[in-house]
């Protein structure tokens, strides 16, 4: 069997959306493993409606999302694993059929996704054709839109369930560090709803990220990541086409723009988060805050 789809959930109010996107796929030639963390009666009643389509279904208390994902890995049988967790959904009903029909070479197949913001705006996320360890300093790929060879977890370990938020990001780094092959599939595979715990930069999330960066990256690698052109669009303005006077770096997700004088002197920065633009003079002095919408 080429694919196992693993769904983990706990009291997920939109679990039916996920179930519908899986059972309406145009092929049934895949395994569906559902790991529920001991949800309330309402969630269980929805899951029971789809139980006949599930290959494996367990509902019991767990230690969090990554413990549940690890249970799914251990119970699955597919060559590749996709984690379509509670609340998210496949972008089209023929995604799995297309995946099964294609010949991939990669250990990890990562596709594009659509991010649904809290106000229901939809943002297209397209990934570069090459990702490596340096890429993951600042960015991530979407596990709902990715397909991972199951044997990688036997080689490099399961998700670290001591991390509550960023364990999937850590595992991408581990795979990249061990030269696993990442193959970009230029297909929009999933809708990711931007309302989960990993979407919010809480104090705990920031702490986990800091610990992971210290564990896996040298100072040289972190410096290299700042110059990664896959992260930023870079525009240089030259006087008389000779003297560089301005360097403008714009994050490709649109969340930040930096303006440097003579390439290296920071003079201005704009951040764009939650419909709020904040302007900084000299890159760190708050100057303006503009609320949109």
- Helical H runs in 90-202? 95-101, 135-138, 151-156, 167-177
Measured over the CA atoms of residue 92, residue 94, residue 97 and residue 99, the dihedral's sign is negative
> Helix 41-49 to helix 15-23 angle, to the nearest 10 degrees?
10
Closest alpha carbon to 184 in 104, 95, 96, 287: 104
- pLDDT at residue 201, as a whole number: 59
Closest alpha carbon to 150 in 44, 79, 47, 75: 79
Confidence of residue 293 (pLDDT cuts 50, 70, 90): low
Lowest mean pLDDT among 13-22, 40-49, 87-96, 123-132: 123-132
Position 59 pLDDT exceeds 90:
yes
pLDDT in tens, 99-146: 999 999 999 999 999 888 887 888 888 888 999 999 999 889 999 999
Position 95 pLDDT exceeds 90:
yes
- Per DSSP bridges, beta strands 31-36 and 56-59 are parallel
- pLDDT at residue 261, as a whole number: 82
Task: Identify the bridge partners of residue 34 per DSSP, sorted by sequence position.
Answer: 7, 57
Lowest mean pLDDT among 26-35, 95-104, 245-254: 245-254
Position 235 pLDDT exceeds 60:
yes
- pLDDT at residue 203, as a whole number: 87
- pLDDT at residue 230, as a whole number: 59
Average pLDDT over residues 253-274: 78
- pLDDT at residue 243, as a whole number: 80
d(CA 13, CA 264): 48
d(CA 70, CA 209): 20
Can you give the residue ranges of every domain in the chain? 3-223, 231-291
pLDDT in tens, 166-190: 999 999 999 999 999 999 999 999 9
Element (H, E) at 171: helix 167-177
- pLDDT at residue 146, as a whole number: 98
Q: Extract the tokens encoding 173.
A: 């780094």
**Between the CA of residue 127 and those of 94, 132, 138, 139, 230, what are the distances in Å?**
21, 12, 13, 10, 9
- Asked if residues 262 and 244 have their Cβ atoms less than 8 Å apart, the reply is yes
Average pLDDT, the chain: 89
CATH topology of domain 3-223: Spore Coat Polysaccharide Biosynthesis Protein SpsA; Chain A (3.90.550)
């Amino acid at each position: 069997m080429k694919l196992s789809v693993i769904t983990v959930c706990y009291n997920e109010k939109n679990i039916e959306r996920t179930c519908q996107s899986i059972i309406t796929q145009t092929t049934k030639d895949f395994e569906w493993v559902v790991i529920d963390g001991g949800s309330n009666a309402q969630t269980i009643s929805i899951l029971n409606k789809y139980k006949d389509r599930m290959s494996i279904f367990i509902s019991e208390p767990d230690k969090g999302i990554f413990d549940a994902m690890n249970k799914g890995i251990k119970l699955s049988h597919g060559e590749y694993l996709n984690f379509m967790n509670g609340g998210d959904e496949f972008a089209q009903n023929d995604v799995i059929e297309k995946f099964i029909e294609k010949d991939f070479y990669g250990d990890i197949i990562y596709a594009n996704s659509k991010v649904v913001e809290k106000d229901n705006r939809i943002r297209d996320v397209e990934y570069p054709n090459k990702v490596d360890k340096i890429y993951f300093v600042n960015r991530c790929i979407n596990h709902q839109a990715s397909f991972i060879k199951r044997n990688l977890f036997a080689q490099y370990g399961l998700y670290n369930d001591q991390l509550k938020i960023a364990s999937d990001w850590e595992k991408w780094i581990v795979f990249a560090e061990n030269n696993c092959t990442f193959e970009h599939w230029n297909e929009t595979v999933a809708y990711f709803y931007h309302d989960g715990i990993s979407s919010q930069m809480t104090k705990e999330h920031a702490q986990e990220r800091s610990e992971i960066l210290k564990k896996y990256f040298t100072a040289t690698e972190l410096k290299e990541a700042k110059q990664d052109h896959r992260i930023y669009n870079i525009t240089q303005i030259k006087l008389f086409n000779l003297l560089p006077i301005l360097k403008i770096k714009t994050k490709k997700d649109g969340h930040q723009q930096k303006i440097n004088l003579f390439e290296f002197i920071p003079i201005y920065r704009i951040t764009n988060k939650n419909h709020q633009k904040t302007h900084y003079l000299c890159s760190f002095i708050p100057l303006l805050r503009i609320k949109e919408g």
